Every structure is written in C-alpha cells, then in structure tokens.
Amino acid sequence: MTPNRHDKLANANRSHYDASMSSPTTLPRPEATPAPVSAPPAAPPRWHSEQLLGPQGQAHIVHGDQVYRLSLTALGKLILTK
C-alpha cells in the first residue's frame, strides 16, 4: 500500500512536531528584581497636652465639618466631646 497525500502530510506534521518537542526551547530567566526598600513609617506628631490645651485647659479640633472639644477634666484626664 502506497502512502497517499493525506498520509504524507500527517507524517510531515508529526516529524515537525516530534523534532520541536525533542529539543525544548530554553527561555532566558528574567533578572531578579530586588524588592524596593521602604523607609520605616514616620512617627505620628506628638504634643504635650499643655501645648494643645493652653491655660484654659481646652482646645477645639476641626475634623471635616465637625468641631470637637478636647478638655482637661478635674481628675487630670483628657476628654474629647462633640
């Protein structure tokens, strides 16, 4: 039995596929990118309560469209009220 056109084409495709699979292509590895070094988080601002409250023992704090009052209690504690 002689191979027909379909058989020849199938054999050619198989040969090409087998050849490409026998020698796998090695892709270059991407260079390792070092992780960015981030600075330590900045410390939040710090104030002494006397600086904020002044001689009256009160300060008004505006937050958005609200005004809050920071007060010193008779027992020396801080209270924040709306």
CA-nearest of 69, 76, 81 to 50 is 76
User: How many domains does the structure of the chain reveal?
Assistant: 1
Per-residue tokens: 44: 């939040």
Residues spanned by the domain of 77: 49-82
Looking at the domain assignment, is residue 65 inside a domain?
A: yes
Q: What is the pLDDT of residues 18-75, one digit of tens each?
A: 555 555 666 666 677 777 777 788 899 999 999 999 999 999 999 999 999 999 999 9
pLDDT digits (tens, 9 = 90+) for 52-68: 999 999 999 999 999 99
| 6: in domain | no
Let me know if residue 11 belongs to a domain.
no
Residue 38 lies in a domain: no
The CATH number of residue 58's host domain is 2.10.70.10
